Amino acid sequence: MFVHVLGSGAGGGFPQWNCNCANCKGVREGTIKTSPRTQSSIAVSANGTDWILFNTSPDIKKQLDDFPALQPAREVRDTAITAIVITDAQIDHVTGILTLREHNKPWEVYTTKAVYEDLTTGFPVFNILGHFRGINHHEIATDHSSFTIPTAEGLVFTAVPLKSEAPPYSPHRHNTVPGDNVGIKIEDTRTGKNLFYAPGLGVAEPHVLEYMENADTVLVDGTVWTDDEMSHEGISDKRAQEMGHLDQSSEGGIMSLLNAMEKPRKILIHINNTNPILNEESEQRQILNKAGIEVAYDGMDIEL
């Protein structure tokens, strides 16, 4: 199984267009050791030719340009993307599908029932696509049953319900239902190895920890270092947990959970522009390095 990180940043990317926090200012001025990041998305392939896109960020055009494997140019209009899996209905995970509206056939799109409802009501991007080539929707169950995608032979996918937060335009906002946010276990039946992907994680429930512990690689929510990080920069009084994200540094945070796991390779994704781990020379980044926890970057390749 081949995994390519198209985007590793949180909503707004890094640097964020209107942000002058220490990190964003530092990357613009070249005063910190770091690299820019687009908004989070990955592509997965069983054979290196046909790719499944996980989430469609607003930065999809740049991400496709930066990964030539997704544009094989076999005909006048072409793409190596054969299906799209959407893990939640947040703007930074779905807006890019509008850029993909000029596909030469309906997109094969996989979402939970809850996400489909949001994307046909509160943020009706699927309805808009109906004026172009449209989509063929495939509902993902939230009962831990597995599903397959025809163009990903040998890969088996399992949606894992997560406690996070529904988007502001969702009728489920502050009253989440199963399927508002899911992680995905991707298993390669040929190698027996599996990836657990969860760019948004608000609560590490026992069943989620079990998937993480049994994964060969976890690619998991690394949004913020502290729960009150946004307030440190004078940006917002909202805590990470209010936005559906578990911080890294607190007791019971992402780092302490990962430190207790022996099997998986541990990688953080969906990094917010305010997170000090973006500075490769920061104290926080050194703590992660010592713990053997990696920070995803745009263009990162993982093979299982």
Is the pLDDT at 128 greater than 70, yes or no? yes
Give residue 263's domain range: 2-303
| Beta-sheet strands, E only, within the chain | 2-7, 41-45, 51-54, 81-85, 107-112, 135-140, 146-147, 155-161, 182-188, 194-198, 217-221, 265-269, 293-295, 301-303
What per-residue confidence (pLDDT) applies to 270?
A: 97
- The torsion region of residue 2 among left (phi > 0), alpha (psi -120 to 50) and beta comes to beta
Average pLDDT over residues 25-49: 97
Query: For residue 199, what are the CA distances in angstroms to 100, 148, 219?
Result: 22, 21, 7
**Percent of the chain beyond pLDDT 90?**
87
Is the pLDDT at 235 greater than 60, yes or no? yes
- Residues paired with 265 in a beta bridge: 217
* pLDDT tens digits along 200-214: 998 999 999 999 999
Q: Which of 1, 70, 23, 2 is nearest to 224 (CA)?
A: 23
Q: What is the pTM assigned to this prediction? A: 0.95
Average pLDDT over residues 115-120: 96
Average pLDDT over residues 132-146: 97
Q: What is the enclosing helix (H) or strand (E) of 291?
A: helix 283-291
User: How many other C-beta atoms lie within 10 A of the C-beta of residue 260?
Assistant: 10
How would residue 231 be classed by pLDDT, with cut points 50, 70 and 90? low
Domains: count for the chain: 1
Average pLDDT over residues 2-17: 97
Instruction: Output Rg (C-alpha) for the chain, integer angstroms.
Output: 18
Half-sphere exposure of 247 (CA within 13 A, CB side): 19
Average pLDDT over residues 128-148: 97
Which CATH number covers residue 159?
3.60.15.10
